[in-house]
Amino acid sequence: MSILFFNPLATQHKPRIPMSILQIAASIDKNYKWVFVDGNIDKEPWPKIERYLQSGEIDYFGCTVMPGPQLKQAIPISKKIREQFPNVKIIWGGYFPSNHPDVVLKSGYVDFIVNGMGDKCFPLLLDAIDKKEPYHTINNLIFLKDGKIHFTAKDPIYEPDSLPVLPYEKLDSFYPLSVYLGKTYLGNKTIAYHSSFGCPFTCSFCAVVPIYNARWKGVSASRIVNDIIFLKNKYNGTAIEFHDNNFFVSEKRVIEFASSIKGEKMIWWGEGRIDTINKYQDETLQLMSDAGCKMIFFGAETGNNDLLKMMDKGGTQTREQILSFAARLRKFNIIPEYSFVLGFPGETEQTVYKNILAEIDFIREVKKANPLTEIIIYVYSPVPTEGSELYKEITEKGFRFPEKLEDWVSLEWENFDLRKNPLTPWIKPYMIDKIKSFETVLNGYFPTATDIRLSRFQKRLIKLIAAIRYHTKIYACPYEIKLLHKIWKYRQPEKEGF
């Protein structure tokens, strides 16, 4: 049997190492033949996929699907395969199908969903289908039978060090691995790496929570360093993006990693929590900085303590801590990258708008505490699992997800998944205008450091033009800033990465 793995288009620039595909491929590498097509490199991937399928050697199509842009290729290509090659089994994995199984499986062209980690589930499923054995006892699986959705039991997170080494060299046989090591803010050849699974917290708006059930396990520091040094020596990697949901859960692991990688002169970035890293000793933060940690992404979310409690962040984060921590990181030359979510549901329309205005003022306070803080602004977009309490709550307020899988491909739903267009009944158009106008002025006065294409002159000019608006708080209709952003193709990191 042979498997065709597909990584749908996620970014127009700088394709990253397809870690999720490699993770699954590693689990079947010794027992099955597999090929790989990457929509981030082959911008029109169907001809290559079709050639593989026409060979008659492909039995399975495995596709990783994140919400947003990846759906634009995953949906039509899966549909074509079902129409033209009906005997090929189609298996989806990733956050989108795990959180929206009903609409995916009832589309008629997805046979199975790998719900969470597929290292054991995927090879067991292939064996069961091949031997015509039942698969309802295979954990981490969602499938449709007799018109009903069936969920099998969930495995605990596997011990990461017990899993096979990723087949980087096999990937290199399909696409030169060098094309995945692009030039970014961090370095000329940036490695994408995933060093842990899950997150120990239960934020009510996070798609990770229902998949890993508030559990976390990390690859050992020694294995991380060995992998990074291999990629550095063989493929000339110079920097690292840790794409973990929460890289910094264990201070001990971070210390071990930073101590070991320090001499390699690698620049790196990761995601963490403010209330976790704020507990780190100053010596740890200094070690991280000395070892190449340049920036850390944090979900600041809001400066409203009541909203922080409502969204069940599961920790001790507060408004005061967000401000003080931004100032603290400045001492260690580590840039905090704070994301904020504006437009949470409120009792009245006035309450929602009042909270938006308060968040804008709080973001300005953060910038005053540490002007180098990168600010990412999202508009509240529900991402709950179907059937959950949060799902019931938002549907009661009038929010509806698409009932057909094809409807997710529309531009408005792509923007929804990027948290730029909420489609929620409680956020009115004038509120969106306020948020976007402030964001434009903010990005003008504080151009992101991560857009390496902008020259110093361009950044200074944008800053000069935006200065009056920022200081006077006149955000409406910032057409002159938008024009410069359009001409110079200003890149927002939340949309395209660094």
HEC states along the chain? CEEEEEECCCCCCCCCCCHHHHHHHHHHCCCCEEEEEECCCCCCCHHHHHHHHHCCCCCEEEEECCCCCCHHHHHHHHHHHHHHCCCCEEEEECHHHHHCHHHHHCCCCCCEEECCCCCCHHHHHHHHHHCCCCCCCCCCEEEEECCEEEECCCCCCCCHHHCCCCCHHHHHHHCCHHHHCCCCCCCCCEEEECCEEECCCCCCCCCCHHHHCCCEEECCHHHHHHHHHHHHHHHCCCEEEECCCCCCCCHHHHHHHHHHHHHHCCEEEEEECHHHHCCCCHHHHHHHHHCCEEEEEEEEECCCHHHHHHCCCCCCCCHHHHHHHHHHHHCCCCEEEEEEEECCCCCCHHHHHHHHHHHHHHHHHHHHHCCCCEEEEEECCCCCCCCCHHHHHHHHCCCCCCCCHHHHHCHHHHHHHCCCCCCCCCCCHHHHHHHHHHHHHHHHHCCCCCCCCCCHHHHHHHHHHHHHHHHHCCCCCCHHHHHHHHHCCCCCHHHHCC
- pLDDT at 99 (0 to 100): 86
- pLDDT at 497 (0 to 100): 60
- pLDDT at 208 (0 to 100): 72
Residue type, 384: P
- pLDDT at 267 (0 to 100): 97
Angle between helices 349-369 and 429-445 (to 10 degrees): 10
Specify burial of residue 118 (Cβ count, 10 A radius: 0-12, 13-18, 19+). buried
- pLDDT at 216 (0 to 100): 87
Q: In b/e form, how buried is each residue of 181-201, taking b as 16+ CB within 10 angstroms?
A: bbebbbbebbbbbbbbbbbbb
Domain spanning 2-151: CATH 3.40.50.2300: yes
- pLDDT at 207 (0 to 100): 67
Can you tell me the distance from the alpha carbon of 221 to that of 193, in angstroms, rounded to the nearest whole number? 13
Q: Report the residue count for the chain.
A: 498
HSE-up of residue 85 (Cα within 13 Å, Cβ side): 22
202, 384 Cβ separation under 8 angstroms: no
- pLDDT at 49 (0 to 100): 98
Domains of the chain by residue range: 2-151
Three-state SS for 95-120 is HHHHHCHHHHHCCCCCCEEECCCCCC
pLDDT in tens, the chain (498 residues): 699 999 999 887 789 999 999 999 999 998 999 999 999 999 899 999 999 999 999 999 999 999 888 999 999 999 999 999 999 999 999 989 998 899 999 999 999 999 999 999 999 999 999 999 999 999 999 999 988 999 999 999 999 999 999 999 999 999 999 999 999 999 999 999 999 998 877 676 666 767 777 788 999 999 999 999 999 999 999 999 999 989 999 999 999 999 999 999 999 999 999 999 999 999 999 999 999 999 999 999 999 998 888 776 667 889 999 999 999 999 999 999 999 999 988 889 999 999 999 999 999 999 999 999 999 999 887 665 555 555 666 777 777 778 889 888 877 776 665 556 666 788 899 999 999 999 999 999 999 989 888 999 999 999 999 999 999 999 999 999 999 999 998 877 766 565
Q: Would you state the structure tokens that stand for residue 464, as one six-digit string?
A: 């000069």
